[in-house]
Structure 1
Amino acid sequence: MSLPPGHAEAPHWWEAAPRPVLPEQPVPARSDAVIVGSGITGLNAALVLARAGRQVTVFEAGDPGAGASTRNAGYVGRSLKHDYSALLRRHGRAMAAAVYAEMQAANDAVFEVVEAEGIACHLERCGRVVLAHSPRQMRDLAAELALRQEHLGEAHMLLDRAGVAAETGSDRFAGGALIPDLAALHPGLYHAGLLERALAAGVTVLARTPATGVGGERGALRVASTRGSTLAREVLFATNGYTGEGAPGWLRRRVIPFDAWMFATEVLSPNQVAAILPANRTFIDTNHDILFARRSPDGRRILFGGQTGVRPRPVRERAAALHALAASVLPGMAGLRVDQAWTGRCAGTLDLYPHLAERDGVWFAGGYCFAGVPMGTYLGRKAAWQMLGRAEGATHFATRPFPGQPLPEVARRLVPAVMAYWRACDRRAMRAR
């Protein structure tokens, strides 16, 4: 495997959507609302607030969208770390169905925003194939999807080993399932469209202006930054995995950041692409430490990701390990060159649910656990509607207790150990062939 030095850390998505370099603007003395973070969550919230007549200022530590919003895989679906069957056992059918109805609403929200704003970002219902490494994983997957079809009406088609091989070009899987209505997009272009619409709506985006703290009281909150401060009525932290020292302590104790890694192959011929991924779908496996793959929207590369929460390493080193992992499950990847490799910071919570929370006029939406495109869109809008006092802001994810830990830095350092445990569980499940 080779990795060209000039492209070592450039996300593939930045080719079609380079990060914009906005001109420096003065920090306003006052704003109706301040949003910290200019990703998918922050820009969706900013659009709703600005179009409701609010003066909105966005503080961004780097260039807009340089974080996970333009580094993710672009999957659009109903992903939740709690299976429907588990919610059914623990909480009953009404609560389980309500949660999964919101996951569907988050999926739908992406289509609503893209259509309403006219954003060209290759959004397509391409379908998703969920891959099982062993018969045991296949049985669990089939049982879960059967319940969802019976209770929620979610369609799926089970695939045997040959069916998966027809979808992936690989005979390494015991089976899988095709969920036909799930989608994908180009996250760089989606973000670029959101930013363009927000600026047109009058939102002030302060690039390269990290927020350093927030103080005061509800209705009179002072947000400090490296270039000055703003007095605001309300503040939304839309920072997810990049929540840092500028955020209130109560928030830092509730968000657990971790890294995920991806690479893009060299440009391939249509025949090469079809030999590895014959179908233009998104792919994900059933492991706790997930692997995922898809074609690039232009159909010229294969994108592959995984190794979530591992200890930080240079991108070149991590790309080599990820490439070896890709070749072990998709043999056609073995001889291909890696042109681009990158990482992005995700975030989870102790209860593995997304959350929308508010304390003394300071709001937070995040903890998406690999569902950042749909949930960032959904909870960004919900947060803005709640800040406006509108009924459409209601969501289950704002009513759940939001657990924290007293030593957030210790919890963050333990992420690699926790992921090592889950990888061991995955290996045991995969050996049960």
Structure 2
Amino acid sequence: MTVDAAILHPDFKPDPYWWDAAPPETTPAGEDLPKEADVVVIGSGYCGLNAAAEFGRYGRRVVLLDAGPLGIGASTRNTGGVTGGQKILLAGPTRDISAERLALMLRDSIASFDYVTSLIEGERLDAGFERCGRFLAAYCDRHHERLIRLGNLLRQHTGVTVRDLGREQLGAVIATDFYCGGILVEDYGSLHPGLYHRALRNRARRHGAELFSHAEVVELVREGPRHRIRTPRGDIRARNVVLATNGYTTGAFSWFRRKLIPVASYHIATEELPRETIQRLLPGGRMVSDSQRNLIAMRPSTDGRRIIFGARPAAFDRDEGVAAGLIHQTMCAIWPELRDVRVTHCWRGTVAMTFDRKPHIGERDGVLYALGCNASGVAMMSYLGREIARRAMGIQERPSAFEMSQFPEKAWYTGSPWFIPWVTAWYNIKDGFDRRLG
């Protein structure tokens, strides 16, 4: 597949569009780490920042460490959808769990959405949040039937407002003939990932958390009831350690790494377009994702001037320049009129999938963890960050449904996802077969 380099804007950046308004943060290099803390949180994503703020709220001295700049990972590299519930039902599988366990997971999924929306609105965080709704588009008739069943389950278990839309009603949410219908969840929302991350950094500091960039944890040593956390910036000792690294978990945490599958997720941002064009392509400014196994996601930018479009461009990973062209071709399959629109940004982030496609929270050898965003982490990982902190302090209202006795792994897997290209290709074949069948 050839790529037309002319679609790259002269000011093209291989960085997230969200960084233009809120870039990752580098803390002062000469600042020494404290020698002691009550809690060390490893990872500066949504999960780690919410955990740090919660510990701080209750008077704990908490230090947060990241291997790179604060916010360099997937928390500022996503689409910015704020949802709750549908990924548990849609991404499953749910056949291996009881109806009672599923109900508890859905309860916590709803709680994650309520937590984030209440946090943003209640504390007036500058996060670009909007209750815009989310449309799940059907790639073919068979997928539409599955989405309608999903909508019924969402109504039954979560109480959200869901509208079933046929092909003739598509124009109300997206101007394309590429899809054949879908379901619109009115209650869901969107935010600006970079602004949300910056607001969480500020919030954590207001509650007393100390944040350090470029402090990769290279070794964790148990010393009685405490841990020694070794980094290039020095050692720090703490009673509690929280691991919140998701798709960026390193070999220093091999037990966890064997349970997480890092997968690259790609996005582009178009050059600025007339507002009326955006409003015509995506009436109502809703989040859209489709039913393909290698799904596509799209939305207007927070200022309503660009299209943000996410897709996996090929079976094997590509650099951002090549990926931009491939994703542009996918975008034009949905909106042919955008064929001459240039791309200003292309970026990729690493999400953490799990073998059972569920997030996990718990404790292992004295290390607390909240891991496994499964490409749906804005609300869930924010919520689980708070919950792991509350678990550590013994103040949880109830145990998390995602604290399970089993955190699956495979004997043949050591943490390097060599099989992702072949799974991607197989998914594309299956989606193509579904499309031909109608």
Q: Residue 187 of structure 2 aligns to which amino acid in structure 1?
A: D
Q: Does 1:19 align with 2:42?
A: no
Change over 3 Å in CA distance of 1:355–1:104 after alignment to 2: same
Q: Which of residues 399, 402, 405 is equivalent to 1:397?
A: 402
**Residue aligning to 2:101:** 95
State the Cα distance separating 1:112 from its structure 2 match: 2.1
Q: Residue 297 of structure 1 aligns to which amino acid in structure 2?
A: T
User: Quick one: distance in 2 between partners of 1:318 and 1:251?
Assistant: 30
Aligned length: 432
User: Quick one: distance in 2 between partners of 1:100 and 1:352?
Assistant: 14
Q: Residue 412 of structure 1 aligns to which amino acid in structure 2?
A: P
Q: Residue 108 of structure 1 aligns to which amino acid in structure 2?
A: D
Q: Does 1:38 align with 2:44?
A: yes
User: Quick one: distance in 1 between partners of 2:158 and 2:26?
Assistant: 45
User: Quick one: distance in 2 between partners of 1:380 and 1:252?
Assistant: 19
**Residue aligning to 1:341:** 346
State the Cα distance separating 1:432 from its structure 2 match: 2.0
**Residue aligning to 2:3:** none
User: Quick one: distance in 1 between partners of 2:76 and 2:252?
Assistant: 22
1:259-313 Cα offsets, whole Å, 9 max, x none, are 1000000001112212322231000001111100000010000000010784222
State the Cα distance separating 1:407 from its structure 2 match: 4.5
Q: Secondary structure at the match of 1:31?
A: strand
**Residue aligning to 1:207:** 213
Counterparts of residues 127-276 of structure 1 (less than 5 Å): 127-217=133-223, 219-247=225-253, 249-276=254-281
User: Quick one: distance in 2 between partners of 1:134 and 1:196?
Assistant: 44
Q: Which of residues 313, 316, 330 is equivalent to 1:311?
A: 316
Check the 8 A contact 1:259/1:310 in 2, yes or no.
no
**Residue aligning to 1:2:** 7
Q: Residue 20 of structure 2 aligns to which amino acid in structure 1?
A: E
Q: Does 1:324 align with 2:326?
A: no
Q: Does 1:282 align with 2:287?
A: yes
Check the 8 A contact 2:68/2:215 in 1, yes or no.
yes
Check the 8 A contact 1:158/1:178 in 2, yes or no.
yes
Change over 3 Å in CA distance of 1:119–1:316 after alignment to 2: same
User: Quick one: distance in 1 between partners of 2:342 and 2:181?
Assistant: 28
State the Cα distance separating 1:87 from its structure 2 match: 6.6
Check the 8 A contact 1:44/1:194 in 2, yes or no.
yes
Q: 136-145 or 315-324: which moved more?
A: 136-145
Q: Secondary structure at the match of 1:234?
A: strand
Q: Secondary structure at the match of 1:383?
A: helix
Q: Secondary structure at the match of 1:395?
A: coil
Check the 8 A contact 1:353/1:367 in 2, yes or no.
yes
Change over 3 Å in CA distance of 1:89–1:66 after alignment to 2: closer
Q: Residue 121 of structure 2 aligns to which amino acid in structure 1?
A: E
State the Cα distance separating 1:189 from its structure 2 match: 0.6
Aligned residues: CA RMSD: 2.0
Change over 3 Å in CA distance of 1:118–1:429 after alignment to 2: same
Q: Which of residues 55, 58, 66 is equivalent to 1:52?
A: 58
User: Quick one: distance in 1 between partners of 2:101 and 2:212?
Assistant: 41
For structure 1, the 5+ residue unaligned runs are none
Q: Does 1:372 align with 2:377?
A: yes
Q: Secondary structure at the match of 1:7?
A: strand
Change over 3 Å in CA distance of 1:8–1:411 after alignment to 2: same
Check the 8 A contact 1:126/1:184 in 2, yes or no.
yes
Q: Does 1:78 align with 2:77?
A: no
Change over 3 Å in CA distance of 1:252–1:218 after alignment to 2: farther
User: Quick one: distance in 1 between partners of 2:357 and 2:141?
Assistant: 27
Q: 349-358 or 326-335: which moved more?
A: 326-335
Check the 8 A contact 2:86/2:154 in 1, yes or no.
no
Q: Secondary structure at the match of 1:53?
A: coil
User: Quick one: distance in 1 between partners of 2:320 and 2:91?
Assistant: 38
State the Cα distance separating 1:86 from its structure 2 match: 6.5
Q: What is the percentage of aligned positions where both structures have the same residue? A: 34
State the Cα distance separating 1:424 from its structure 2 match: 1.4
State the Cα distance separating 1:410 from its structure 2 match: 6.4
**Residue aligning to 2:423:** 418
Change over 3 Å in CA distance of 1:342–1:325 after alignment to 2: same
State the Cα distance separating 1:117 from its structure 2 match: 3.0
Q: Does 1:296 align with 2:297?
A: no
1:324-353 Cα offsets, whole Å, 9 max, x none, are 011112223222111111011101111110
Q: Secondary structure at the match of 1:111?
A: helix
Check the 8 A contact 1:382/1:392 in 2, yes or no.
no
Check the 8 A contact 1:354/1:397 in 2, yes or no.
yes
User: Quick one: distance in 2 between partners of 1:19 and 1:82?
Assistant: 30
User: Quick one: distance in 2 between partners of 1:237 and 1:69?
Assistant: 15
TM-score by length of 1: 0.95
State the Cα distance separating 1:89 from its structure 2 match: 5.2
1:336-395 Cα offsets, whole Å, 9 max, x none, are 111111011101111110001211211221211111110111100011001111233620
Q: Residue 417 of structure 2 aligns to which amino acid in structure 1?
A: R
User: Quick one: distance in 1 between partners of 2:201 and 2:9?
Assistant: 31
